[in-house]
Copies of this chain bind each other. A is one copy, B any other.
């Protein structure tokens, strides 16, 4: 297959390249960029200095359509809303890694992203690509909205509870932490080494644009779940997200029964690994891989459940899940190209 990556110079784009370069069914990878037209990929990313060619192509929608079977959009928010309509055609499938096509309600997008939303028709067509929850719909998708990094970790941690409808309304609190690559590749003082190293920050308190995405998908499973409290922190590390979640349940449970519930729910999901009783995941244990690891414990003292979910934000939180969806959409094995083990240490 011929694959195009738009936004190839960002961290999401280069992670797609890392996976797809070893994907058995990918023949050609075309790299597009709007900002760096003349440069080669090697100049941008010397770690790839063995590849031949690696020319960065200008972003001309007609050509992109002609040259590719599947196009990945690894662009910042605000671009695919207007770019996607130009790329749609009978034979091209589109996988958008940005936030532009995830929210079904355009007004939500405007409120949280402060940008113009995509056309409503497109929003309705786009399939939300949390693979574990939406497998069937993804199979037939022509336009796929790949989930955000925080929503992936959070939703995979909460879905079995929501599906079982045992969550006390408005009781969910998600305290999320991310490595710095989640902020994208850009020159900014706020993400410079000296400001981040030996530092732990909270940011976008009560304002993160992933909040409506999480609530939208939770409400598909259980509309009574209500609002969630959701906080985001920046960890002095490159990759990794941990969501620590506090939930009140409608009835009393114990940890073993809950673990059973999760294992059953994810019995056919090769990338979700439930930890056994007493064990909790750390972010490095999924580093560079497409796994989501989940641990949990019900605290009888406070009657609250703690669920811990970790992913690599560039893999299951972005490029890895995008390829997982690409596999499902293309009828390949779900883990084709994604059998990479976590890089540990």
Contacts and interface: CB of A to CB of B under 8 A. Distances in A.
A237 B197 contact: yes
Report the contact-size class of chain A (Cβ under 8 Å from the partner). 35 or more
A46 B281 contact: yes
A192 B188 contact: yes
B299 A229 contact: yes
Nearest to A21: B341
A59 interface: no
Given A185-B189, A279-B46, A297-B206, A198 B238 contact: yes
A68 interface: no
Interface of A: 11, 14, 17-18, 21-22, 45-50, 170, 173, 175, 177, 179-181, 185-189, 191-203, 205-206, 227-229, 231, 233, 235-240, 242, 244, 246, 270, 273, 275, 279-289, 291, 293, 295, 297, 299, 301-302, 304, 306, 308, 310, 314, 339-345
16 contacts: A22-B341, A47-B286, A49-B293, A50-B291, A175-B231, A191-B192, A192-B193, A193-B196, A198-B287, A199-B237, A200-B242, A206-B301, A229-B302, A229-B306, A246-B246, A343-B343
